[in-house]
Amino acid sequence: MTFSRIAGTGSYLPEKILTNKDLEQMVDTTDEWIVTRTGIKQRHIAATDEFTSDLAYHASINAIASAKINPEDIDLIIVATTTPDLTFPSTACLLQEKLGINKCPAFDIQAVCSGFVYALTTADNFIKTGSAKCVLVVGADTMSRITDYTDRSNCILWGDGAGAVILQASIEPGMLSSHIHADGRHAKLLCVPSGVSKKDSKSTISMEGNAVFKMAVKTLDAIVDETLNANGMQKSDINWLVPHQANIRILQATAKKLHMDMDRVVVTVDKHGNTSAASIPLALDCAVRDGRINRGDNVLMEAFGGGFTWGSVLIRY
Ligand code: ACO
């Protein structure tokens, strides 16, 4: 049987930093309110001439180096993003051109904050069926481009960034299981009302924060049980939790559900806010590079986002 295994990780954050103090000058908010309610201290913002594919490119180069492969070895590119450079071609195709390769298939996946979990699940299935051997999986978003910086109810949350992994075929697991879900009935609670086919006067994020928060905690609670049951594991079998970095209070609720100390939870939300599809691979790369996550560790990744979409991936790193 063929499994898939993460061979390397990479990430990238744009240079410009927007702090809570900066936001105090823009909307009626305080550093204290933002830190207490969300855990966020700063976020990175892409330069005007920097696009999602550029962020994806830098993260990919780092992942390629960490996996010790050449770009030509990649036989599939999947980019999870909600903020593509263009309506088309896909950001994955633009990334492929930047990487100087041109033979492999490349496509985008849109599942908002759950995008990376969806993309990893898709890549895993390509590998398991023998359709691919070396997949570049990227989560990249420029959320600042769809943020209304006069709306204090959510502009304090978002940031820009990218994270990437190289997923390779392996005789050992690797990815132990993945679980993805969606429920379109709640679309209006978290959305950008305007798009390509449908136009609206509002083209920035609209969110009923409190309702989304409650739903996120409840849903992530259930996905922890689903993942543990599918693998016949106990809570204590999980070495690391790498959650979607949305809000520290949501992360704490999931850690509590797992009876896990916060020092086993990879937290980067303070440094880059909610970067949507980029947040899990950004956090994963951080904990791999600083030596916290090691080969053989059981790592649970989980996410919840617009759609609603949600999901989890359990890996043996
Ligand atoms: N600064 C100061 N006060 C504020 C701010 C702000 N930036 N924003 C709201 N307030 C005020 C409100 O007006 C309200 O005041 P009131 O009590 O006088 O009416 C009070 O603070 C409380 O507002 P709530 O909205 O109830 O605050 P809450 O504790 O819910 O925190 C937050 C808001 C941070 C947005 C939270 O609801 C949240 O994180 N929600 C989940 C978001 C999320 O995780 N999304 C995940 C998916 S993201 C994706 O898929 C793209």
Inform me whether the pLDDT recorded for 75 exceeds 90: yes
Topology of 175-316 in CATH? Peroxisomal Thiolase; Chain A, domain 1 (3.40.47)
Distance (angstroms) between ligand 1 centre and the Cα of 38 equals 8
Burial of 223 (0-12, 13-18, 19+ CB in 10 A): buried
Distance between CA atoms of residues 296 and 103, nearest Å:
33
Tell me, using a 6 A CB cutoff, whether residue 116 lines ligand 1. no
Inform me whether the pLDDT recorded for 100 exceeds 90: yes
**Averaged pLDDT, 105-113:** 98
Distance (angstroms) between ligand 1 centre and the Cα of 27 equals 14
Q: What is the pTM of this model?
A: 0.97
Tell me, using a 6 A CB cutoff, whether residue 292 lines ligand 1. no
Tell me, using a 6 A CB cutoff, whether residue 228 lines ligand 1. no
pLDDT in tens, 186-232: 999 999 999 999 999 999 999 999 999 999 999 999 999 999 999 99
Helices 31-38 and 248-257, axial angle in degrees (round to 10): 20
Per-residue confidence (pLDDT) for residue 1, from 0 to 100? 84
CATH superfamily of 3-170: Thiolase/Chalcone synthase (3.40.47.10)
Tell me, using a 6 A CB cutoff, whether residue 310 lines ligand 1. no
Distance (angstroms) between ligand 1 centre and the Cα of 215 equals 14
Active site residues: 113, 244, 274
Inform me whether the pLDDT recorded for 176 exceeds 90: yes
Fold identical between 3-170 and 175-316?
A: yes
Distance (angstroms) between ligand 1 centre and the Cα of 149 equals 15
Which residue from 81, 213, 275, 308 has its CB within 8 A of the most atoms of ligand 1, so it is best to mutate? 213
- Give ∠ CA 143-144-145 in degrees, rounded to 5: 85
Per-residue confidence (pLDDT) for residue 146, from 0 to 100? 98
Q: Copy the structure tokens of residue 35.
A: 């830190």
Residue spans of the domains in the chain: they are: 3-170, 175-316
Tell me, using a 6 A CB cutoff, whether residue 152 lines ligand 1. yes
